[in-house]
């Protein structure tokens, strides 16, 4: 049963990554980050006015375990753009400072046409289907 639960979590993570052009797996929420690295990454995305989905990995340790198995990246936060892992806080910060992140996010419309438009500019939230 444990393997089935882990497979369900892994499938939900994979689905969330494929359904959202920009998704951040983080500790806490964009409104209340639970670590400095997550807060810094959210700040970078917000400064670029990037719409993104977010998943709090803290409610269930299996989320982090399965995410790391998928991405082969051990640390949190993890930013995915159009299904590809970009990296964690240090890489995101460096890419922001060099302008590479703005180019990556601006090279194609970061908001998928299938995502609901939020008139107030708030951050997209996905249902935490991973817990």
pLDDT digits (tens, 9 = 90+) for 82-103: 999 999 999 999 999 999 999 9
**Residue 4 in this model has a pLDDT that exceeds 80:** no
Note the pLDDT of residue 57.
Answer: 95
What is the residue extent of each domain of the chain?
2-106
- CATH topology classification for 2-106: Glutaredoxin (3.40.30)
Contacts 24+ apart (CB under 8 A), 35-38: 35/76, 37/75, 37/76, 37/77, 37/88, 37/89, 38/76, 38/77, 38/89
């Amino acid at each position: 049963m444990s393997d089935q639960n882990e497979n369900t979590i892994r499938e939900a993570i994979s689905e969330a990554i494929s359904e959202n052009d920009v998704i951040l797996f983080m500790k806490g929420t964009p409104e209340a980050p639970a670590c400095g690295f997550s807060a810094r990454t959210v700040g970078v995305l917000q400064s670029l006015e990037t719409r993104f989905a977010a998943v709090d990995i803290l409610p269930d340790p299996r989320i982090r375990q399965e995410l790391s198995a998928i991405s082969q990246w051990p640390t949190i936060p993890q930013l995915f753009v159009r299904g590809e892992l970009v990296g964690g806080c240090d890489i995101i910060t460096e890419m922001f400072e060099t302008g590479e992140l703005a180019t990556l996010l601006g090279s194609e419309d970061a908001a998928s046409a299938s995502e609901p438009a939020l008139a107030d500019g708030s951050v997209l939230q996905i249902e935490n289907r991973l817990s």
